[in-house]
Structure 1
Amino acid sequence: MVNSTFFKTILVIEFAFAFWLPVVALGMGLFGTPIALVNIFSGLFEWYFVPLMTVGGALGFWGVCQLLAKSLDTEIKLAAKRRLIIYLVCGAFALLPVPFLFFDSVALSIFAVVPYFVTAHLIYINRGYFAN
């Protein structure tokens, strides 16, 4: 891994570019979760995905933030490998419905897929952590 300031700056810009839409969706999910829970308890079970996406998205975002922090500072302690993989898988599943929510807008659908590539890039950068 390159420890230059330029590389770290590009990595942070890449992260910010890729995760702006998931952060907005996570924010809307935090406000929408109480409404969804009321609707679920009222019998409208089509709202079940909102709390699941919010919790999964929060776990996934926490995992990706840990990978970014490890990329920026190699001395930082991360969660255990197994737990970090669970966080990333929860985040990946939480993002699956997002392209269908923005199906009419190609640009927003593309922004919904970009976090997968950035997460794969961060995993590749930190592959030594996952190898041992």
Structure 2
Amino acid sequence: MKFNRINHVAIICSDYKKSKKFYTEVLGFSIINEAYRKERDSYKLDLRVGNFDQLELFSFPDSPKRPSYPEACGLRHISFEVDSIENTVEYLKSKSIAVEPIRIDEFTDKKFTFFSDPDDLPIEIYEK
């Protein structure tokens, strides 16, 4: 068996309009496709990240909250590579997004930090 790459990452949000604005207008991901599924009362938004990666944003009525931050069993966080941590942090703060202090990865010596999406999903930015 051989895996080629991650095809997409899917996120369920509690407020579709708020999360759509966050991921498209604040983080700048472009929309590939948007669909409303009436039978499920659910939106699905396909977003392009960089040149090849894809993020799927879903909404479902009455989705349960994340059990804990960030140590719940399952997906811990999503991470995006950036060219400059400092520039990205400055931009996020200009959009009133709280960002943790920049840290250095003890294994790679690369800079990284975390912020959260509107549902408190931990998002890491990691310097290239």
TM-score, normalising length from structure 1?
A: 0.28
RCO (CA 8 Å, sep 6+): is it higher in 1 or 2? Answer: 1
Higher fraction of helix:
1
Higher Rg of the two aligned structures: 1
TM-score, normalising length from structure 2?
A: 0.29
